[in-house]
Amino acid sequence: MLSFYLQGLALGAALILPLGPQNAFVMNQGVKRHYHLMTASLCTLSDVALICGGIFGGSALLNQSPLLLTIITWAGVAFLLWYGWGALRAAFRADVEVAATEAMKQGRWRIVATMMAVTWLNPHVYLDTFVVLGSLGGQMPPEARRWFALGSVSASFIWFFGLALLAAWLSPLLRTAKAQRIINLLVGMVMWFIAVQLALQGMRGFH
């Protein structure tokens, strides 16, 4: 069964490593050292729910409901444009330290809500977990499927906590005014780039 675990670990890592809104948000919270472990925990738990849902039968639901995917897509586009605009505005503020201080005042529940939106309003998450992992894992025997799911979940756990802790460790270097401008610019551009990608895919119907 180790081979199925490693297969799930490798595929999970391949799907999660590209820089997306979830990774950008975790990295940003890590740099601020502001609820970064909570953010990593919630991202991991969300992935556990999505991966298990996809591998153990959720892919059929997504395939049968294109309207659901369309709603998620356009809600995600709107949210990413809004979040990206906030990051870009912070990057070009005259006093970037004031923007950083304001960001640190965000309460726990606002961060939870943002993390949930970044994760659950991103249709790529459903395509990765329900379509890719779900279609592959769903064909395996029950025991192998459990090990495959465990491997995929392990990849999420290692990545999100590793990213949050590494960003927090590098925080003294990354919390300078210049670094904060670059990070906010990067986050804003990533959010807008993915929003444009989602909008184009939404208009094409994800074909």
Instruction: List the single range of 103-112, 127-136, 146-155, 187-196 with lowest mean pLDDT.
Output: 103-112
pLDDT by residue (tens digit) across 33-75? Answer: 888 999 999 999 999 999 988 888 765 666 666 777 777 778 8
Q: Choose among 138, 114, 102: nearest CA to 24.
A: 114
Q: Which residue has the higher pLDDT, 189 or 61?
A: 189
How far from each other are the two terminal CA atoms of the chain, in whole angstroms? 34
| Structure tokens, 5 | 């675990």
pLDDT above 80 for 80: yes
Question: Which structure tokens are listed for 83?
Answer: 């979040």
For residue 55, give the amino acid letter: I
10-14, 38-42, 202-206: least confident range: 202-206
pLDDT score at 98: 45
State residue 104's pLDDT score: 53
Whether the CB-CB separation of 155 and 77 falls below 8 Å is answered with: no
| Alpha-carbon 155 to chain mean position | 13
Position 139 scores a pLDDT of: 76
pLDDT at 103: 52
pLDDT given at position 99: 47
Whether residue 151 contacts residue 12, with contact meaning beta carbons closer than 8 Å, is answered with yes
Span 139-177, pLDDT tens digits: 788 888 899 999 999 999 999 999 999 999 988 887 777
The sign of the dihedral angle between the CA atoms of 132, 138, 139, 140 is: positive
How high does pLDDT run on average in the chain?
82
* pLDDT value of position 22: 87
- pLDDT above 90 covers a percentage of the chain that reads 20
% residues pLDDT > 70 (the chain): 88
More confident residue, 129 or 45: 45
Among the residues of 92-141, which ranges form H helices? 96-104, 108-120, 123-126, 134-137
